[in-house]
Amino acid sequence: MKRRFYKNSMILLILLALFSVLGIHSMLEKSRQFQAQDLTLEDAGYRRDFFSESMRSDQHLSFECQTFLTNVEKEAVYFPIPESTVDKSLSVSYTDSWMQERNYGGESGHEGTDLMAARNERGIYPVLSVSDGTVTNLGWLEKGGYRVGITSESGTYYYYAHLESYANIREGDRVRAGELLGYMGDSGYGPEGTTGQFDVHLHFGIYLYQNGEEYSFNPYHLLCYLEKHKLKYAYS
């Protein structure tokens, strides 16, 4: 009798231990799902992986993140540098350099993607607006040189820096996706008019202002997506 009771007790203990393990596993899984769903726009991982294929298919994004992702997907229409119909060698290249170290004016993270000109000559490559929006910033910044800031209807801020010159645009103008903003250059890193501190390129950034704070998002994956949506311009 005692032996049977002992045997049954052991079975009961094993079952309780098994249920406990399964319960802990279930709680951990629910915790991971909750953390994913609780992701905010301020999250560094979200901002780094912004618009990547894995993120666009993630079902656990918070409503806030999903809304922002959808807004950009709808409004970002064209690649910022058009394809030349005259000289096919006028290409651009870029890598995922978001938050890499920068040292001008003190240590900082690189809040954008640099599109480097195959021909290192300012004033050749047209720079286009990727989206509809309003010109909310225009003029010189010490780090950005001659820059343009376009704010879309959703409040997303698209930043174009180191230009050589501007098209016929002014602050407050409405622009359309694909509209000419200016020409790629190498301006910046000094007082107004400074050039030649680096190779010709376009610094492209994406920002959002929320609760009085400014947040940058990695444009790299968006640019990869927009590669399939290049306009054609006759320039050489």
Query: Do 64 and 140 fall within a single domain?
Result: yes
How many separate domains does the chain show? 2
pLDDT of residue 35: 45
Q: For residues 28 and 133, state if they share a domain.
A: no
Q: Are residues 29 and 105 in the same domain?
A: no
If asked whether residues 136 and 21 sit together in one domain, one would say no
Do residues 30 and 86 both lie within one domain?
no
Residue 212 and residue 103 in one domain: yes
Query: Could you tell me the residue range of the domain that residue 213 belongs to?
Result: 44-233
Task: Show the beta-strand stretches assigned E in the chain.
Answer: 83-84, 92-93, 101-102, 108-109, 113-117, 126-128, 133-141, 145-151, 157-166, 174-175, 180-184, 201-210, 213-217, 232-233
Q: Which percentage of the chain shows pLDDT scores above 90?
A: 70
Other C-beta atoms lying within 10 Å of the C-beta of residue 177: 18
Confidence of residue 40 (pLDDT cuts 50, 70, 90): confident
Task: At 69, list the tokens.
Answer: 């992702």
Instruction: Tell me the C-alpha distance between 60 and 90, whole Å.
Output: 41
pLDDT tens per residue, range 181-198: 999 999 999 999 999 999
pLDDT tens digits, one per residue of 94-106: 999 998 887 776 7
More confident residue, 23 or 216: 216
> Do 1 and 74 fall into the same domain?
no
Report the pLDDT value the prediction gives residue 32, as an integer from 0 to 100: 42
218/106 same-domain check: yes
Ramachandran quadrant class, 228 (left: phi over 0; alpha: psi -120 to 50; beta: rest): alpha
Mean per-residue pLDDT, 32-36: 42
User: How sure is the predictor about 4, in pLDDT bands with cuts at 50, 70 and 90?
Assistant: low
- Side-chain half-sphere CA neighbours of 199 within 13 A: 11
CATH code of the domain in which 214 resides: 2.70.70.10
Q: Kindly tell me if the per-residue pLDDT of 21 is higher than 60.
A: no
Judge if 4 and 116 occupy the same domain: no
